[in-house]
């Protein structure tokens, strides 16, 4: 398979997984009054997923 085709498929999969991770049913699980490390759980989840997506996308794009 062509390298660009595989990269495109991986990027599409990451977009779908990111969309699912940031969609309502999953977000509702973390929308609580609880705090972890002094940060609301929902905010901690959002920033953790955001950071993870950026790191994984960087690894996919920069892979040689």
Instruction: Tell me the per-residue pLDDT of 1-47, one tens digit each, with 9 for 90 and over.
Output: 788 899 999 999 999 999 999 999 999 999 999 999 999 999 999 99
Q: Quick one: average pLDDT of 46-55?
A: 97
- Give pTM, 2 decimals: 0.85
Say if residue 64's pLDDT is above 70: no
pLDDT at position 4 is 87
Whether the Cβ atoms of residue 14 and residue 57 lie closer than 8 Å to each other = yes
Contacts of 23 (CB under 8 A, 6+ apart): none
pLDDT at position 63 is 81
């Amino acid at each position: 398979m062509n390298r660009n085709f595989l990269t495109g498929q991986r990027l599409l999969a990451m977009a779908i997984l990111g969309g699912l991770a940031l969609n309502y049913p999953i977000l509702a699980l973390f929308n609580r009054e609880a705090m972890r490390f002094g940060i609301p759980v929902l905010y901690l989840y959002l920033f953790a997923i955001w950071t993870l997506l950026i790191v994984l996308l960087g690894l996919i794009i920069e892979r040689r």
